[in-house]
Amino acid sequence: MITTNRIDEKGNIAPLSILIATHNAFKVREFRAMAAGYPVVFRSLTDADLAIDIEEKGSSFDENALCKARSVYSITRDMVLSDDSGLVIDALEGAPGIYSSRFAGLLATDHDRMDKILHELRYESHRDAAFLCSIAVIFSSGEERLYRGKLAGKIAEKPSGTEGFGYDPIFIPEGQSRTLAEFSEEEKNAVSHRGRALNAFFIDIGLTPQEGARHGKT
């Protein structure tokens, strides 16, 4: 197990600074909310003033996550975290998968992408799906590690809810009757594919919430 805890002269755990390989403000907000209570400070590429446009050329979530992390690490040599995640739908043979963010075209909106999926499933009764996430971390030493998370569920008949982003309004987690967009931020972070992958990372490096803090609170 790698431990990255740093103790200052007063015996306190110094926050771990991690650069997230993204400019996506929604994604950064989610990571920060999921890490609330942990001695971690997440910085985005925008925060670091890095105008990096990373092309995803991999054939899997793992490959894309590693590609993005390596691109940033090669420039900064700082500890970098990158994720690639998406929606896989059984009836669409795993689509949209790694193409989730551009499923309806490069200029499409979240609404456009949801409309496309609902249209393709309009005659389909088997609507099982899952959100998958791969997190790649490159430590300052250059060591690379992968962490994965999954949230099973199904595709709703129509969008519902105003929280979250992406495909949340049409995804109903397993055992639930609400879409992710009807979950509070704390509820979503407790079950999400990204939250599960991040938690696996925290466990691996021995990172625990600070005393008196509650994970998931903002």
pLDDT tens across 121-132, in order?
Answer: 999 999 999 999
Write out pLDDT tens, residues 37-94.
999 999 999 988 888 877 778 899 999 999 999 999 999 999 999 999 999 999 999 9
Interior CA angle at 17 toward 13 and 19, to 5°? 160
Res 11: pLDDT: 59
Q: Which of 47, 49, 83, 84 is catalytic?
A: 84
Write out pLDDT tens, residues 147-167.
999 999 999 999 999 988 889
User: How far apart (Å, rounded) are the C-alpha atoms in residues 205 and 4?
Assistant: 6
Q: What is the mean pLDDT of residues 180-187?
A: 93
Cβ-proximal residues to 203 (8 Å cutoff; 6+ apart), any chain: none
- Residue 84 annotated among the catalytic residues of the structure: yes
Domains of the chain are 6-205 (3.90.950.10)
